[in-house]
């Protein structure tokens, strides 16, 4: 039996190693491509290590494109959208989780439907709305659109987090003289911090890598990172070293956020799975 268990574990670990290498290989290929000279990228026999090691892709990216501007635009849009999402989704989710009123379940299902609605169905009406507001061709248009997708997602997720917290905490706050809003701010939010942090990070990530709405709304020199990098694909010979370098830099902020908030994300996802 022990021998069979060892064999089973060995096969399992081998399969996991294969899956892990398969998942990480595209990232590795992006990294080495960013450090290759342009000529080596188009050779018939590609190498698995830069020979020679070159920073020409990063130099082109920073000198010949508006990459810094794209980075700033994506950062501002993602941060502000995540902040707006938190301001609206936290009280909405708390109300749906704690208050008993007619149509509560219907409203919760409508919020879920708003999140699940395909983006392709919304392009034309959203573009018309943004244009009438005079916000097309600017990141302000994205700040109007992105929360409309992240707020339903965050609200639906936070409903589960708030339901996982015993309502006796609310009752104790009421006994101490707190109003419903004060109970939310002083008691419920601190207790549900892992769930809130993980949800807002996911909302930030959704905005950071969004491409389709940015393509519809923005134009000219105003671009976000996904839109700017995709715009570098033109002509017969694409500068893949610069594009991959830009993609590597674009992943760093999200990786750093996940590293520092990993404990909140793990515990937050665990909390969200307790109740529906």
* Domain range summary for the chain, segments of one domain joined by +: 2-58, 66-272
pLDDT confidence of residue 270: 45
∠51-234-255 over CA atoms, to 5°?
Answer: 60
What is the per-residue pLDDT for 29? 92
- pLDDT at position 273 is 41
DSSP code, position 146: H
Would you list the DSSP string of 152-199?
Answer: HHHHHHHHHHHHTS-THHHHHHHHTT--HHHHIIIIIHHHTHHHHHHH
**Distance between CA atoms of residues 265 and 202, nearest Å:** 9
User: What count of residues does the chain have?
Assistant: 276
93, 188 contact by CB (below 8 A):
no
Are the C-beta atoms of 142 and 213 separated by less than 8 Å? yes
Q: Which of 65, 73, 204 is nearest to 139 (CA)?
A: 73
Residue 121 to residue 191: CA distance in whole angstroms: 38
How far is the C-alpha of 41 from the C-alpha of 65, rounded, in Å? 20
Residue 101: predicted pLDDT:
82
Give the span between the Cα atoms of 261 and 213, in whole angstroms.
28
Q: Which portions of the chain are predicted below pLDDT 70?
A: 1, 235, 263-276
Distance CA 146, CA 89 (A): 13
Query: 111 vs 39, 96, 121, 142, 144, CA distance in Å?
Result: 51, 11, 17, 20, 17
Q: CATH says 66-272 is which class?
A: mainly alpha
């Amino acid at each position: 039996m022990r021998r069979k268990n060892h064999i089973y574990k060995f096969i399992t670990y081998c399969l996991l190693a294969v899956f892990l290498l398969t998942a990480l290989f595209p990232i590795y290929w992006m990294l080495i491509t960013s450090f290759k000279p342009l000529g080596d990228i188009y050779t018939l026999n590609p190498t698995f290590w830069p020979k020679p090691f070159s920073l020409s892709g990063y130099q082109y990216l920073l000198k010949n494109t508006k990459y810094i501007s794209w980075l700033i635009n994506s950062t501002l849009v993602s941060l502000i959208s995540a902040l707006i999402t938190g301001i609206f989704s936290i009280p909405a989710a708390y109300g749906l989780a704690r208050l008993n009123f007619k149509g509560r379940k219907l409203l919760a299902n409508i919020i879920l439907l708003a999140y699940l609605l395909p983006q392709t169905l919304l392009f034309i009406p959203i573009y018309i709305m943004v244009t009438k507001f005079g916000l097309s061709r600017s990141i302000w248009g994205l700040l109007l659109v992105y929360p409309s997708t992240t707020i339903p997602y965050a609200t639906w997720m936070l409903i589960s987090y708030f339901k996982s917290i015993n309502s006796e905490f609310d009752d104790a706050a009421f006994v101490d003289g707190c109003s419903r809003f004060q109970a939310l701010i002083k008691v419920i939010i601190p207790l549900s911090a892992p769930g809130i942090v993980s949800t807002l990070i996911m909302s930030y990530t959704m905005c950071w890598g969004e491409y389709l709405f940015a393509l519809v709304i923005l134009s000219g020199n105003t671009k976000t990172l996904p839109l700017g990098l995709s715009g570098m694909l033109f002509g017969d010979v694409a500068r893949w070293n610069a594009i991959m370098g830009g993609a590597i830099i674009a992943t760093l902020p999200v990786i750093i956020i996940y590293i520092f908030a990993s404990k909140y994300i793990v515990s937050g996802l665990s909390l969200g799975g307790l109740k529906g």
